[in-house]
Amino acid sequence: MEKVKHWLNRLFGFYYRQGSLKLRGVSFAAATLVFLAAYFLLHGIWGEGITALSILPAVVAGLAFGVGGGFLAGLFLAGLNLLLIFAFGHQDPYLLLRSGGLAGIISVPPIAVVVGLLRNLSQTLNNELVLRRQAEERLLLSQQDLDTLFHTVEDIIVVFDRQGMILKVNRAVERKLGVDAAELEGKHLSALIPERAQAINTVVRKIWEEGLAHHDFSFPTRDGAQIPVETYLSRGSWQGKPAVFAISRDMSRHQASREAEREQRSLAEALASTAMALNSSLEFNQIIELILDNVGQVVPHDAANIMLQNGVTTRVIARRGYQQFEVDEEVAQTDYRLEDLPSLYRMSQEKQPVIVPDTHNSTEWRKNRRTQHVRSYIGAPIISRGRVMGFINLESTTPNFYHAVHAERLQSLASQAGLAIEKSELYDEIQKLAITDELTGILNRRGLFELGQREVDRAVRFKHHLSVIILDLDHFKAVNDHFGHSTGDAVLRELANRCRENIRDVDILGRYGGEEFVILLLECDLRCAAIVAERLRNAVAAAPFTIGSTRLEVTISLGAAQLDPRGNQQVEALIDQADKALYISKETGRNRLTIAASKEEVR
C-alpha cells in the first residue's frame, strides 16, 4: 500500500504540479467524460443520485488547477449537473432539487476549491520540504567543507573556553607538533606547552579581561624542537558556549627568510666596507685586519685567521679568537707546510673552498694541540692573478656547523683579500718603477735620495757609521761618440753589474745621473769605504768590458765621504761632499779615489 501511495504521489506530483497546462486540462476533460459516461449508464439504475459522481472531476480540477481553477471547474460541473437533471432526469427536477439535490450540486464548487486549496498547501509544503532538504544538503556540504578547511589548513587552530580547556584542535597539531589531536581535546592548554603553564593562565586571563588579540610564542615538538608562531586570538562561541579561537601561524620560514636577508645585508655591507678600504690609502695589513673583522659579521666562528703562502709553507698574518684556547702565540709563530695540511693543500690545488663538517670523522684534518678545539672547519683560498696566495680559515667548536652558504660568503671575502694582495703587489711594482732606473735596474736619483735619507736618519739616531762613494766613468763621452749610444748604454749596465758584485746586499746602489753612480755603505767608516772603493776601481780597470764584438778598456774615478752626525744631516749634502772629492780625482789624472775628509788620494 505504501508503494502505491508513493507512486501515486509521484504521479500526481508530476502531472498536477509540474505537468503542462494542456496535460492538466486533458485530465480534467477525461474525468468529466468519465462522469458523463457513468451518468448515462447508471442513472437509470441509481437515479439522479449518480450526479454525486461529479465530485470526481471536481477533485481532478482542484488538483489540476488549484483554488481558482477548481472553483471555475466546480461551477461548470454544478451547471452540468443542473443540465443533466433538467434534460435527462426521470424525476421531477424541482422536487429533486428541493429534496436536497440543490445542496449537493452547490457543494461541488466548494469541494473543488477545498481540493485546490489542499493541492496548493501540499505544493507549498512540498516546496518547503524541497528547500529544506536543499538547505540541509548545502549545510552538510558547508560543514564538510568547513571540517576539511579546519583540518587541512597549515595553521594550528585551537578552540578553548574561559578556563583554558581545549574544546577542539585541528590536525595541523599532529603535522606540526607530532601530538595526537584527539588526545588534546578536553585537556588544559598547558598540555600543549607544559613548561609554560603559568604563562598560559596569564594569557587566557588577558584574553577574556583585556581582549588580547595577538601573541607570539613557540610550540615545542615531540622531538624537542621549537616552532615559533604568530597567534591571532578572537572570541566567539563553540557549541553554544563562549570560546576563543586561536590561529597560530608557523613563522619558521619567515624567520629563516628574515635571517637570510639580514645575513645578505651584512655580507653586502662587509663587501662594501672592504671595497672602500681597497680604494682608500689604507696599508695592506690594515685591509687584511678589516677583512678578518668583516668575516665575523657574515660567517660565525670561534676562531679565525688569514694565512699568506710563501713557497711550500704558509704563515698566519692576522688572527682572532685563539686566546680563549691558549694557543695564540703558537698560531702566530708557526710556519705550516701545505703538504702537512690536506685541507690547505686541496685548496691550493683546486682553488675552491673546503669544508670539514666534523674534524673527528675526517681524514683531511690533522689533530694537534693548536687544533684540539676545532670540531668544524671551513676555508677559502685567496687568489690573486690566478695564483693561490693564501687562505682564510674559520674554526667552530660545534660539529657540522658550516655548510655551502657559508662557503659562498667566505669566498666573496677571500676574493677581496686577493684584490688587496693584487693592489699591494701593483703598488709595490709601481713604487719600484718610480724609484728604479730603467736602463740599469738599480735605484734612480729619486730612489737614491728616498732610501738614502732614511739610512742617514737611522745612522744619526743610532750613532752608526755611514759612508758614501760616488764614481764616474772616465772619458765616457768618447765611448758614446765613437761606438754609439747603444754601446754606451751597455757599458753603463755592465758597470752597474760590477758594482753590485762588489758590495753587500744591504748597501744602497743608485744611478746619480748620466754615467755617475752613488753607493751608500751602511755601518762603514772612511777606512772601510776606501777599501770598497779601491775594490771597485780594480774590478773595472782589471777586466775590459765586452760589448758584442767590442772590447773596451774602461776606468772610473771615485770620491768618498763619511757622514758627520754633528754636521748637515741630509743625504744630498753627504753626496755633495763625495762629489767634490770625485772632482779632485778627475782633475788629478782620473782612475783614482779621493776621500773628502782629508783630501787624501788613494791609488
Instruction: Give Cβ neighbours of residue 227 (< 8 Å, ≥ 6 apart).
Output: 176, 177, 218, 219, 220, 221, 250, 252
| pLDDT classification of 19: cutoffs 50, 70, 90 | low
- Which residue matches cell numbers 469541494? 111
383 and 457 co-located in one domain: no
| pLDDT higher than threshold 70 for residue 27 | yes
Amino acid at 444: N
Partners of 243 in the beta sheet? 236
| pLDDT classification of 599: cutoffs 50, 70, 90 | very low
Q: Domain end: 250, 279, 305, which one?
A: 250
DSSP 333-364: H-EEEGGG-HHHHHHHHH-S-EEES-GGG-TT
235 and 346 co-located in one domain: no
| Confidence at residue 5, expressed as pLDDT on a 0 to 100 scale | 47
| 4 domain-assigned | no
Region of residue 393 (left: phi > 0; alpha: psi -120 to 50; beta: else): beta
Q: Domain end: 250, 274, 307, which one?
A: 250
Tell me how far the alpha carbon of residue 459 is from its chain's centroid. 59
Are 241 and 252 in contact, with CB atoms under 8 Å apart? no
pLDDT digit string, tens, across residues 176-231: 778 887 788 888 888 877 777 778 888 888 888 888 888 887 777 777 778 788 88
Please state the φ and ψ torsions of residue 596, each to the nearest 5 degrees. -65, -40
| 137 domain-assigned | no
d(CA 268, CA 285): 22
| 138 domain-assigned | no
Q: Domain end: 127, 142, 171, which one?
A: 127
- Domain CATH for 421: 3.30.450.40
| 165 domain-assigned | yes
191 and 275 co-located in one domain: no
| Confidence at residue 601, expressed as pLDDT on a 0 to 100 scale | 43
* Mean pLDDT across 268-293: 68
Query: How many other C-beta atoms lie within 10 A of the C-beta of residue 299?
Result: 26
| Confidence at residue 492, expressed as pLDDT on a 0 to 100 scale | 95
| Confidence at residue 235, expressed as pLDDT on a 0 to 100 scale | 86
Length of the chain: 603
Please state the φ and ψ torsions of residue 436, each to the nearest 5 degrees. -110, 135
Closest CA to 306 of 322, 289, 294, 329: 289
| 139 domain-assigned | no
Closest CA to 434 of 424, 426, 444, 442: 444
d(CA 54, CA 88): 16
| Confidence at residue 24, expressed as pLDDT on a 0 to 100 scale | 77
311 and 220 co-located in one domain: no
* Mean pLDDT across 307-311: 83
pLDDT digit string, tens, across residues 34-66: 777 777 777 666 666 666 777 777 777 777 777
| pLDDT higher than threshold 60 for residue 544 | yes
Instruction: Give Cβ neighbours of residue 88 (< 8 Å, ≥ 6 apart).
Output: 39, 40, 43
Q: In three state form, how does the secondary structure of 527-566 look?
A: HHHHHHHHHHHHHHHHCCEEECCEEECCCEEEEEEECCCC
| 313 domain-assigned | yes
69 and 193 co-located in one domain: no
Partners of 423 in the beta sheet? none
Nearest-5° angle of CA 220, CA 223, CA 226? 30
267 and 397 co-located in one domain: yes
204 and 342 co-located in one domain: no
| pLDDT classification of 433: cutoffs 50, 70, 90 | low
pLDDT digit string, tens, across residues 69-92: 777 777 777 777 777 766 666 555
163 and 221 co-located in one domain: yes
Considering only residues 307 and 567, tell me which one the structure prediction assigns the higher pLDDT.
307
Q: Is 244 exposed, middle or buried (0-12, 13-18, 19+ CB in 10 A)?
A: buried
d(CA 503, CA 198): 87
Overall domain count for the chain? 4
359 and 246 co-located in one domain: no
414 and 284 co-located in one domain: yes
d(CA 473, CA 202): 100
* Mean pLDDT across 295-299: 82
Considering only residues 402 and 192, tell me which one the structure prediction assigns the higher pLDDT.
402
| 140 domain-assigned | no
211 and 265 co-located in one domain: no
| pLDDT higher than threshold 70 for residue 142 | no
Contacts of the segment 223-231: beta carbons below 8 A, 24+ positions apart? 223/178, 227/176, 227/177, 227/252, 228/252, 228/255, 229/156
Amino acid at 586: K
Considering only residues 470 and 550, tell me which one the structure prediction assigns the higher pLDDT.
470
219 and 75 co-located in one domain: no
Considering only residues 47 and 576, tell me which one the structure prediction assigns the higher pLDDT.
576
d(CA 35, CA 14): 24
Domain residues for the domain of 74 are 12-127
Considering only residues 269 and 353, tell me which one the structure prediction assigns the higher pLDDT.
353
| pLDDT classification of 9: cutoffs 50, 70, 90 | low
Closest CA to 81 of 124, 126, 111: 111
Partners of 229 in the beta sheet? 217, 250
Tell me how far the alpha carbon of residue 275 is from its chain's centroid. 21
- Domain CATH for 190: 3.30.450.20
| 515 domain-assigned | yes
